[in-house]
Amino acid sequence: MTLSDLVAHYGYLAVAVGCVLEGETVLLMAGYAAHRGMLDLPWVMAVALVSSFAGDQCWFWLGRRNGATLIDRFASIRRLVPRVQAMIRAHQDALVLGVRFMVGVRVAGPVLMGWSGVPTYRFLALNFLGAGIWAGAVGGAGYAFGEVLERMLPAFKEVEEGALVVLVAGGLVVHALRMWRNHRG
């Protein structure tokens, strides 16, 4: 089975799982795969919107129910609580809309918002809007990246699978480093 076959068969599942967590890299690659014809861009964006929205709703409810316990368990989050609570009070709407664009707080942000008492329906509405903006922007950026590469490198088609492997490996390395840094903190 070639890499193209794997993307065609499991690409939407990868988008769904990746977008529940830190999904930028997965969504960028899916946008690129859509440009190459392996996936359908509207479906990539729809899967990203739904899974990102659902994931953040779950993290929000986890924070609402178990926020204090989770915060006590993770020193890296506990250190940030006073500053984050002040930011949430001052810029609640902007943070709910933009949390998925903030590297490193994609999961912790909704947990802290749930724990901080952000109204449920406000979070629900703004989370859906933010997920739509994010899915369109990041998926579209991956698609545009493919277009730029195709125009800049006419011979790119000959090495695209190797380049995709390098992109996937690079994304996994970046994700692993983020996880290691967050775990260490």
pLDDT at position 167 = 77
pLDDT at position 121 = 94
In angstroms and rounded to an integer, the radius of gyration of the C-alpha atoms of the chain is 18
Q: Phi/psi of residue 122, each to 5°? A: -65, -45
Closest of 156, 143, 135 to residue 37, by C-alpha: 143
Cβ-based neighbour number of residue 32 at 10 Å: 26
For residue 106, give the 3-state DSSP assignment: coil
Which amino acid, 23?
Answer: G
Taking 80 as the threshold, does the pLDDT of residue 22 lie above it? no
pLDDT at position 2 = 57
pLDDT at position 173 = 86
- Tens of pLDDT, residue by residue over 95-134, are 898 888 887 777 878 888 898 888 999 999 999 999 999 9
CA separation, residue 99 to residues 2, 40, 95, 124 (Å): 36, 26, 5, 13
Higher per-residue pLDDT: 81 or 19: 19
Contact 126, 97 (CB under 8 A): yes
CA separation, residue 61 to residues 56, 64, 91, 119, 166 (Å): 9, 5, 20, 11, 36
CA separation, residue 113 to residues 44, 60, 90, 146, 150 (Å): 27, 6, 12, 36, 42
Percent of the chain predicted with pLDDT > 70 = 90
Q: State the pTM of this model.
A: 0.76
Extract the tokens encoding 90.
């001052």
- Tens of pLDDT, residue by residue over 148-183, are 877 777 665 666 667 777 877 888 888 888 888 877
Extract the tokens encoding 114.
């749930």
